[in-house]
Structure 1
Amino acid sequence: MNSPAITLRAMRPDEYEDYARRRDQEYVQSLTEMMSTEAAEEKARQDRARFLPQGLATEHQHLLVAENASGEVVGHAWVGLAEPPTGPADTAWLHDIEVARAHRRSGYGRAILAAVEAVAREEGASRLGLNVFGDNAPAISLYRASGYEVMAQQLAKRL
């Protein structure tokens, strides 16, 4: 499938609050498979404070909005160019990528991912790392089709 044309731009302050709230809610929902809601909410707060202490102004963090050729917002991505702190210096980290619900299954995920990879390369990264929850089959399929390989794996069983 050919990817549609997109343009990445910096997220505006008026978009950031909605993005951060929505991302935190989705993160908490995913984490509740592994911990209580209260613990998940606290982890979401701590992670945002750790990785985005100055919000949009946080150094080495790019919060990006993807627009199609008509200027319509079709998704977003967050790439850290200094993460993870314990990883190799040449590795950027994809903290988040999402295609707007109305535009899913249309090639925008692949287009956004490719554009983020280009941003990371331009900033000097030679690798792009990411985490994905094990039950996110569409994302796993996208990453595999885009050449990503499993570097580590965690397993769990509910008792």
Structure 2
Amino acid sequence: MTGVRLEPMTEDEYRPWRAEAEAHYTQSVAASGRPAEIAARNAAVTFANLLPDEYATPDHHFWYAYDGDRRVGFLWIRVTDDTAFVYNVAVEPGLRRQGYGRAIMLAAERWCHGNGLTRIGLHVFAHNTGARALYEQLGFTETGRNLAKDLLPQS
């Protein structure tokens, strides 16, 4: 694999992707320690706030990533000023651990350079150690940290 290319999603492709992306985000929130119903509510609110106009929300870009004719993953970023923020990147389940995540992120960097952007950021859940390691290998550095503590009911 020499790299992947990013192909913009169509509005018709966006609809099923959106449902799958929200479900995956729900799973990630739940894996970080939130109850499933709260995770689902959190995901629904987050996506509604980030994408009020769905596919047509300004400054948001959605791509599928391809290696030749094979779809290998997807990427969603938002651009503000000179910065891209990766909201979602994923590799198709049967193709993980084969270098596609790295290739998609490098394609994202090429797109950013080609569009005059000077910074790229992202959020990664603490439990996603594989993704964290990849991002560190790609030169991402930690710029903040969220902490949480579950409170037990008081008697």
TM-score after normalising by structure 1: 0.85
Distance across 2 between alignment mates of 1:128 and 1:106: 23
**Residue 158 (structure 1) shift:** 4.7
**Residue 31 (structure 1) shift:** 1.4
**Residue 103 (structure 1) shift:** 1.4
Tell me what 2:28 maps to: 30
Q: Is the 1:77–1:97 Cα contact (8 Å) retained in structure 2?
A: yes
1:69-97: CA deviation from partner (whole Å, max 9, x where unpaired)? 2x110000001012xxxxxx322100000
Q: Is the 1:4–1:108 Cα contact (8 Å) retained in structure 2?
A: no
Distance across 1 between alignment mates of 2:39 and 2:150: 17
Q: 1:105 aligns with which of 97, 108, 111?
A: 97
Q: Give the secondary structure class of the aligned counterpart of 2:146.
A: coil
Tell me what 2:74 maps to: 76
Q: Give the secondary structure class of the aligned counterpart of 1:124.
A: coil
Tell me what 1:12 maps to: 10
Tell me what 1:39 maps to: 38
Q: Give the secondary structure class of the aligned counterpart of 1:119.
A: helix
Q: Give the secondary structure class of the aligned counterpart of 1:29.
A: helix
RMSD of aligned alpha carbons: 1.7
Identity %: 33
**Residue 141 (structure 1) shift:** 1.1
Tell me what 1:86 maps to: none
Structure 1, unmatched stretches of 5+, are: 83-88
Distance across 2 between alignment mates of 1:15 and 1:138: 28
Distance across 2 between alignment mates of 1:139 and 1:73: 20
The residue identity in structure 1 corresponding to 2:60 is Q
The residue identity in structure 1 corresponding to 2:39 is A
Higher Cα Rg, which structure: 2
Tell me what 1:95 maps to: 87
**Residue 157 (structure 1) shift:** 4.7
The residue identity in structure 2 corresponding to 1:21 is A
Q: Give the secondary structure class of the aligned counterpart of 2:107.
A: helix
The residue identity in structure 2 corresponding to 1:11 is M
